[in-house]
Structure 1
Amino acid sequence: MKVDLLIRRVCVDDDRPLVDIAIRDGRIAAIEAGIEVDAAQEIDAAGRAVIPGLVEPHMHLEKALLHRRLPPTQGTLEEAIRVTGILKSRQERHDVLERSRTVLDMAVRNGTVAIRAHPDVDLIQGLIGVETLLELREEYRDLLDIQVVAFPQEGIIKSPGTIALMEEAMGIGADVVGGCPYNELNWDDTVRHIDAVFEMAQKHDADIDMHADFSDEATDQRFAAAGYIAQKTIDSRFQGRVSLGHVTSLGALDPEELKPVLQLLREAEISIVTLPATDLYLGGRNDQKNPRRGLTPVRALQGAGVNVAYSSNNIRNAFTPFGNADMLLIGNLLAHAISYGTPEHQAAILGMATGNAARAIGIDGSYGIAVGRQADLVILDTARVADALLDIPARSWVIKRGKITVVTRHTCDIHRHGCKCPAHGESTAENKQGSSAANA
């Protein structure tokens, strides 16, 4: 058998011996020890761990890296929306492209192979976020897959004309219908917002991804819409096609109040995407004693069988002043925040950035380390898969559809010096991509 790429001596499972992975035509052709094939290209992983490519299911690219343009003074959600609204009104195409490329390059270097991006579609910035992302989707097609959400950040009902813009966005190539139902003036309008999103999704046979219930409390019904969305999903026969970001108000519910919502979410096969960098930063701002963490109840959701993923959300703006598009770093943060420290818990966190996230954006059918699956892989500079969140190691090789896109050189060269610990040595990345993305 002739293959395009052969990865030798790689750790897929910490409890099993090292194996080789053969890749042909962008897919995994074999996973076994001692593969004998004619390979056009070969990697000696020297015992390093491999994981499926990381997936960011919820990012805002056109609003990234705005943190120094109009710095906030209070750090609240309300201020973030106001400041970002001002900056959105000044958006220029070349600047949006430049900032978006910077974040995409970060993501590629950090092992991300797919992103679902949520550009704002509203009367402030029009379609500039969608249009630039469609351009970048083509530009980066060999490095990562980009899904584009038509996201009405400023609301739909209170902002007449937004529906027409969303329709235009779907018409020119957006993949997913977005929603922000809490950003309406009352509960009736929140319901109308949700209904409009489902109507558009059905019209275009598109998936749905909404920002929902972003609050420390569930007393305002606009921020307690998860149950209604779940029932709407079931009634519309959209099971498995809806994702919700934030959903922090679920953490304010008593266990008995939460239970029926969890049951509906599971029945609707809704994915919940927690955004710890943003939610921890903005949540619990008004608490003077025992401040809340402001996160969706990950433990309870997982226990109820709901698919949970996480993502970076914003990168260096008023909503999230930090970030470098590294899913392992965000996973480490989440693990601390929800007290997920046991080996089983750490494995669950890594799963939220890989298989769970792939499911959340609907690519799980072709994703993962198995024969026949798309060869989107990250070889980590650590010897155990279980140490991914502990070490946050360099991404030694990133592979997209069977092509090496990133190589990280190490001062401790295992192949020349026989070092048996792949975690040794400092790293500098050498990007192998052949696009306009910046070198690492």
Structure 2
Amino acid sequence: MSSAETPSHAAGFSAASGSAPAASGSAPAASGSAQSGSLLLRNVRPWGGAAQDILIEDGRIASLTPAGPVPASAEAVPEIDGRGLLAIPGLVNAHAHVDKSWWGLPWQSYGGEPGTDGRIRHERAERDGLGIPSVGITRTVLERMVAQGTTAIRSHVDVDLGLGLRGIEAVRQAAAEYAGALELQIVAFPQDGVLRRPGVMSLLKDALQAGAESIGGLDPATIDRDPVGQIDGIMEIAGEAEAGVDIHLHDPAELGVFQIELVCERVERFGLQGKVNIAHGFAVAQVDAGRRGELLSRMGELGMSMTTVAPPRMGAQQLPMRELEKAGVRLGLGTDGIRDLWSPYGTGDIMGIAWQFSRAGGWVRDEDLTQVVRLASSDGAWAVGRDDHDLVVGGRGDVVLADAENPMDLLVRGPARELVVGAGRILHQREGQ
């Protein structure tokens, strides 16, 4: 459906008397009285349903009522007339790399050798000359993500012998500019390997002490060539610190499944139930249904999760959404790298990844398309440690408004996000609106 075929619900926003609308464009935090984390969004359609007024107080949704007169309790609260726009919860980016983009710098031509290890070497050779990582670069990436509706992010941030913890410090500083309206959790990511670089294990421990919520790993069999050693080391550190684990695993088919099985064994050994995620995990989609069913059942029992960046290929690399759901394996969507030394692609729009996941996976029915939107929003709450994340009383006041008929239309057509609210603060308002 084209934009011309969809009725426009809003020609623009208007603020009621006494309220303070946000400035056009994106900013770390809204100005004026919206800084309080209280806001009334009038005449919006949660998940495409009937028009309602959403009252946010102190960063949480206080009430949802049929659109109508302003309740007495909300008379002093800044308000926005949503003009019938679709409302969904803030988007959750469950797998990002906000520390290593060149967005905002002159165009960087793709270079280096192919393959994971070749890309790692190229990045290490070029990043210092580009000033990566930095607060400024991360700020640019976050601004673009927020403008497209993201209000919560799990980001892998490189830690290695050349960087130490500088990347984590830069990301923390950039995220702090949002004063809590944008939630960001960090995975300390040993991109250059773990065991093959003596000293990295100690860095991972230091990263957790510095406030990282999780530690990562990378292709234990093909990068460190010691799957048992890498997995044992990472899981033991996380178990002692009661932290999370989020492992990049690109290895295919039986090799990949073997490593996931090793992870499952260590989840139980080190008491990490509910704290371990497998990123990418293409192997799950590449083994036969019986083998996959047994593996997913085990992962579900252990409270494990998976994240995908939906590589734009049909079939063998797309994670089976409904099979994971049936097994109790949580799934999240992520943008991966954005205009970095690995690839010039990426816009920061998690709805673009959701579209890609749906298209490549062959999802076409309304209930499936809606579920994909939920993966990108409400059902992604686990990635940032939330028990719930939806347009319900008590939920965090993260709301995205878009000119779309329903969630399916939002997904397949990808209209601009008109307004983005984080914890009751206006983070983005589309220019000209």
| Fold in common (TM above 0.5) | yes
Is 1:80 the counterpart of 2:119? The answer is yes
| 2:194 is the counterpart of 1:151 | no
The match for 2:292 among 258, 274, 277 is 258
Alignment match, 1:52: 89
How many angstroms apart in 2 are the aligned matches of 1:186 and 1:74?
Answer: 19
Residue 17 of structure 1 and its aligned partner are, at CA, apart by 2.1
Q: Is the 8 A contact 1:91 1:125 kept in 2?
A: no
Match of 1:218 among 250, 253, 260: 253
Partner residue of 2:53 out of 17, 20, 32: 20
Please list the CA deviations of residues 323-380 of structure 1 after superposition, one character each: whole Å capped at 9, or x if unmatched.
Answer: 1111111111111110111111111111111122211332234x22111111011111
Within-5 A mapping of 1:193-212 = 193-212=230-249
Question: How far apart, in 2, do the equivalents of 1:76 and 1:161 lie?
Answer: 25
Q: Would the alpha carbon gap of residues 111 and 220 (structure 1) be closer, same or farther in structure 2, given more than 3 Å must change?
A: same
CA distance in 2, matches of 1:228, 1:29: 45
Residues in 1 aligned to 2:232 and 2:47: alpha-carbon distance in whole angstroms: 45
Task: Give the unaligned 5+ runs of structure 2.
Answer: 1-36
Offset at residue 192 of structure 1 (A): 2.0
Corresponding position of 2:265: 231
- Spell out structure 1 runs of 4+ moving beyond 6 A: none
Question: Which of 162, 177, 180 is the equivalent residue of 1:139?
Answer: 177
Cα 1:321/1:409, change in 2 over 3 Å? closer
Q: Secondary structure in 2 aligned to 1:374?
A: coil
CA–CA distance in structure 2, aligned partners of residues 17 and 134 of structure 1 = 39
Instruction: Rate the CA distance shift 1:392–1:164 in 2: closer, same or farther, 3 A.
Output: same
Task: Assess, with a 3 A threshold, how the Cα gap between structure 1 residues 297 and 321 changes in structure 2: closer, same or farther.
Answer: farther
Preserved CA contact (<8 Å) 2:224 2:230? no
Matched with 2:64 is 31
Q: 1:356 aligns with which of 367, 379, 394?
A: 379
Q: Between Structure 1 and Structure 2, how many residues are aligned?
A: 392
Distance of 1:332 and 1:138 partners within structure 2? 30
CA contact (8 A) 1:154 1:183 kept: no
- Looking at structure 2, the residues matched to 105 and 185 of structure 1 have their Cα atoms a distance apart, in angstroms, of 33
Write the letter of the residue equivalent to 2:100.
Answer: K
Length-normalised TM-score, structure 1? 0.82
CA distance in 1: counterparts of 2:395 and 2:258, whole angstroms: 38
Contact 1:9 1:48 in 2 (8 A): yes
SS at match of 1:62: coil
Gaps of 5+ in 1: 282-290, 411-426, 428-440
- Residue number in structure 1 paired with 2:327: 304
Indicate if the aligned counterparts of 1:134 and 1:173 stay in contact, CA closer than 8 A: no
Change (3 A) 1:186 1:209: closer
**Deviation for aligned residue 1:105:** 0.7
State the partner residue of 1:314.
337
Structure 2 CA distance, aligned partners of 1:401 and 1:273? 25
CA drift at 1:143: 4.0
Task: Work out whether residues 318 and 357 of structure 2, in 8 Å CA contact, stay in contact via their aligned partners in 1.
Answer: no
Same amino acid, percent of matched pairs: 30
Specify the alignment match of 1:375 in structure 2. 397
TM-score of the two chains, using structure 2 as the length reference: 0.83
Q: Are the aligned partners of 2:305 and 2:330 in contact in 1 as well (CA < 8 Å)?
A: yes
The match for 2:137 is 99
Q: Out of 328, 333, 338, which is 2:351 matched to?
A: 328
Post-superposition offset of 1:219: 4.1
State which drifts further: 146-155 or 199-208: 199-208
Alignment match, 2:147: 109
